[in-house]
Structure 1
């Protein structure tokens, strides 16, 4: 929790410094420090107690003092001073497509725009196009981008929301007056976009719990809605709703707080009043509740899909894949391209997860922005992998994330044929016509050396939309060519979506769940990819990285 608030404030300082026009060295220092603190595996408060902050490379005495101040007070003087010069709401303008620091300063100084709402108002009135350097077309593009950002305001992707929810859960569990706590709602259902964090707690002192919450630096406001609900606002924008209940009603409250509104309504329609009144105090978990109402257990991920109720009544639910079924991760990056860790460090982290195998799939030569590997560098990487395979208790497969270019793949077939894993992906030409983008993807799927199509639609959650593709045609071609479709577990992607997974599964596709990790911590995102698979009705046998290593090699050799 401390790491999150320090990182958030450092991000704000960095952006306000950009708007102010401060020297680049100072901006980079805050940017690096923010990333370092966010990625720490230990609470920064522990480092403060041990006087070890400056042992972190990139954290000098000045930054260390700011970190201490933030942990103690929830803010720091450097941030407060900047906030007096420039409204922190200006930072939101930097997310607008086509708007950089110079335009933000122009908007603020010339017509007083200080947030997304006022930017929209001025764009609608035509005031922007009266400014130098901005014409009607640019104004319209800005307005479209602002509308999108406003529709996503105070929403987080699943990874950010779940990370905050888990930290809150761990923190609140430490309150002496709290007996039980569970994360429910959209996070438990593994929705890709979260607009509210929902928690159920059992506490013997509701007022004391509220006061304890108010002390959290991430919390900006706490209010009591009624005798059983606390509402809190966070400095990340997203709200928190906490349902309070007694020990005897805990699992009942978890049960009804997990499903969507429509889902719960349909459940109530099949539960008579007499049974519903008895769903109290005798249940040790949700499985017992489902058994009591005459249904097999329905996993939380399916409790917004009304079909699951009908299939439950017919005892026709899937035997859903579980995280423990995953035997390896076949899409991650290392320092050879744009990853943060060495191959050995990634391998050791995979070993700790109990994986039998992994694959390093660094970017290829065309993606220069990601330090893509030339064929010679790729072969040098193979030598390192061969040496590691002699010493580590995990099989490292040699792979590459090969760019799908306009008319070819980024490596020739003679190189592709020597790889254990070939992942093909689009990293350019996102706005190609449907005919062109489909032609590129079809070309990749038809290549006999390509095993996996990575993040197949190219969408970014709360960001870029999907390519203009014919999804069903893509799936049929993948099935025809025995190409595996990736469920990219990065919360920024979750590509394929669960709806697409369900459709592709019905058509007969095979899947793999990969993290696309660029650092060790991102390997933990596998849980979100598994969540997508579960929402998409997949079972263990539908996903190839549930195979043992020998089975996997045999499958890939087909």
Structure 2
């Protein structure tokens, strides 16, 4: 929680300094510190207590004092001075397309625009054209961007929400009054976008818990408070809800507050659940399913109305589990844009119990990601050969090959030499459906392409899918035996569960990869597994549940 709070405040300082027009060196110092703290594996307060904060590259004595002040007070002198000049509510304006820091400053000083809603209203009235450099066309683009941002406001992707939820649980677990905590609602269902983090808490004194969570620096507003429930707004936008439970009704509340309202309504109807059926105290949620004579439905499927018909027929999928995964075939190293060496990523996979991994760095056309030309790729193979002699995990030689306009980024002679070939699109996102499908078909028809990476190109809360005919794509993938990737990065989750379910019905094969650029990101595998579970996949549907020998056989078919 300390790391999160420090980064929130430092991030606001950096943004407000940009708007103010401060020295770029100073701004970069804050941004560098944020990046370093984000990657810390320890609580930053521990470093402060040990006097080791300045040992982090880029954090000098002055910045260390600022961080220490934030940890102990939730704020700092520089931040307090900046918000006297500019309200923090203008910071989201920096995300608006067509507006830079200097324009944000002008909009505030000349038009008194303090937040996105203000900007939307004044754009609709045509008032932005009073600002030099903003014409009617630019104003229209600004309005479109604002509407998109407002639609995304107060929402987090699954990864960000899970991180915050875990930090809240860790914080609350420290109180003696708390007996147990359980995540419920959309976060427990592994929805890709979360607007409320809901926790059930069994505790002796709910008021003590409420008092202590309300004073956390990430809390911005109290929305509802009574002896049974507390709803708060956070500075991250997402709402936080705490619901009190007793030992006798804890699992009852978990059961009913995990599913959506529509799901619960159909559940009651399909299985003729009557009021009073669940008045007993239960020792687990599975006991409730047994009491109601319903096969256990995993939390990920408790918004899926169709699954209730499968439950009635006792034909639920044998859902894939995290422990079924035997390797990760989409990992980046510092040969391209990853942070760690191949050895470090391999050892991290080994520590997770994997049998194998594949290093799939970017190819040379993706210069922004330090893509590998053929000579560098072959030198990487030499390193992999040496590591395979030393480590107790198999490193496969792979590449994430760019799909260009009319070809792949490596020739067939190189693709044929690789153990794993992932073909992905990283450019031309606005291409017509005809052009995009032509590019994808080049990849799917290539006999050496094993996997289509993040197949629709969407970014959660960021970018819509490419303009593609998804059914046609799947039919071709089935025909060519090309595996479809479920990319576990929380900002991608591509394929999503809807597309997974459709592709599964059409006979596709799947792989769940993390696309990890850092060791921590290997833990994102659970999010991809969640998508697979929501899409009704079983262990046999996912190829990286295979042993190494079976995987090699599959890839060489």
* Class of the TM-score when normalised by the shorter of the 2 chains: over 0.9
After the TM superposition, which residues 1-12 of structure 1 pair with which residues of structure 2 at under 5 Å, given as runs? 1-12=1-12
How much does 1:17 deviate?
Answer: 1.6
How much does 1:60 deviate?
Answer: 1.5
Backbone CA RMSD of aligned residues: 1.3
How much does 1:338 deviate?
Answer: 0.9
After the TM superposition, which residues 425-504 of structure 1 pair with which residues of structure 2 at under 5 Å, given as runs? 425-504=424-503
Distance 1:223 1:141 in 2: 34
Contact 2:270–2:308 (CA under 8 A) maintained in structure 1: no
Contact 1:210–1:222 (CA under 8 A) maintained in structure 2: no
Structure 2, unpaired ranges of 5+? none
Deviates more, 1:473-482 or 1:36-45: 36-45
How much does 1:469 deviate?
Answer: 0.3
Contact 1:213–1:222 (CA under 8 A) maintained in structure 2: no
Contact 2:273–2:292 (CA under 8 A) maintained in structure 1: no
Partner of 1:320: 319
Distance 1:422 1:235 in 2: 42
How much does 1:223 deviate?
Answer: 5.6
After the TM superposition, which residues 23-102 of structure 1 pair with which residues of structure 2 at under 5 Å, given as runs? 23-102=23-102
Partner of 2:160: 160
Contact 2:358–2:398 (CA under 8 A) maintained in structure 1: yes
How much does 1:225 deviate?
Answer: 3.4
Question: SS at the partner of 1:80?
Answer: helix
Question: SS at the partner of 2:249?
Answer: helix
How much does 1:380 deviate?
Answer: 1.1
Partner of 1:511: 510
Question: SS at the partner of 2:248?
Answer: helix
* Residues 133, 255 of structure 1: alpha-carbon distance in 2 compared, 3 angstrom cutoff: same
* Residues 273, 313 of structure 1: alpha-carbon distance in 2 compared, 3 angstrom cutoff: closer
Distance 1:219 1:281 in 2: 36
Partner of 1:244: 244
Q: Deviations over 1:256-311 (max 9, x none)?
A: 1100111111122245465x414144321111111111110000000000111111
How much does 1:110 deviate?
Answer: 2.6
Question: SS at the partner of 1:339?
Answer: coil
Distance 1:47 1:190 in 2: 33
How much does 1:516 deviate?
Answer: 0.7
* Residues 132, 54 of structure 1: alpha-carbon distance in 2 compared, 3 angstrom cutoff: same
How much does 1:205 deviate?
Answer: 0.5
Distance 1:437 1:380 in 2: 33
Distance 1:429 1:370 in 2: 16
Distance 2:404 2:82 in 1: 45
Partner of 2:114: 114
Distance 2:23 2:548 in 1: 52
Distance 2:175 2:272 in 1: 38
After the TM superposition, which residues 297-308 of structure 1 pair with which residues of structure 2 at under 5 Å, given as runs? 297-308=296-307
* TM-score using structure 1 length: 0.98
Distance 1:552 1:48 in 2: 47
Question: SS at the partner of 2:51?
Answer: coil
Q: Deviations over 1:483-541 (max 9, x none)?
A: 00000101101011100000000000000111111111111111100000000000001
Contact 1:424–1:452 (CA under 8 A) maintained in structure 2: yes
Distance 2:106 2:414 in 1: 51
Partner of 1:385: 384
Contact 1:47–1:53 (CA under 8 A) maintained in structure 2: yes
Deviates more, 1:281-290 or 1:436-445: 281-290
How much does 1:216 deviate?
Answer: 2.2
Partner of 1:403: 402
Partner of 2:294: 295
Partner of 1:532: 531
How much does 1:106 deviate?
Answer: 2.6
- Paired residues, number: 557
Distance 1:273 1:220 in 2: 40
Question: SS at the partner of 1:144?
Answer: helix
* Residues 553, 219 of structure 1: alpha-carbon distance in 2 compared, 3 angstrom cutoff: same
Distance 1:398 1:384 in 2: 10
Contact 1:161–1:194 (CA under 8 A) maintained in structure 2: yes
Deviates more, 1:91-100 or 1:349-358: 91-100
Distance 1:284 1:327 in 2: 33
Contact 1:356–1:548 (CA under 8 A) maintained in structure 2: yes
Distance 1:132 1:54 in 2: 43
Distance 1:173 1:265 in 2: 33
* Residues 290, 166 of structure 1: alpha-carbon distance in 2 compared, 3 angstrom cutoff: same
Contact 1:490–1:529 (CA under 8 A) maintained in structure 2: yes
After the TM superposition, which residues 192-271 of structure 1 pair with which residues of structure 2 at under 5 Å, given as runs? 192-222=192-222, 224-271=224-271
How much does 1:155 deviate?
Answer: 0.6
How much does 1:109 deviate?
Answer: 2.7
How much does 1:100 deviate?
Answer: 1.8
How much does 1:127 deviate?
Answer: 1.3
Structure 1, unpaired ranges of 5+? none
Partner of 1:15: 15
Deviates more, 1:139-148 or 1:209-218: 209-218
Distance 1:280 1:36 in 2: 51
Distance 1:224 1:470 in 2: 45
* Residues 130, 21 of structure 1: alpha-carbon distance in 2 compared, 3 angstrom cutoff: closer
Distance 1:104 1:22 in 2: 14
Deviates more, 1:127-136 or 1:83-92: 127-136
Distance 1:145 1:224 in 2: 31
Q: Deviations over 1:132-186 (max 9, x none)?
A: 2222222111111111111111111111011101111121111110111001100
Deviates more, 1:280-289 or 1:514-523: 280-289
Partner of 1:332: 331
How much does 1:221 deviate?
Answer: 3.4
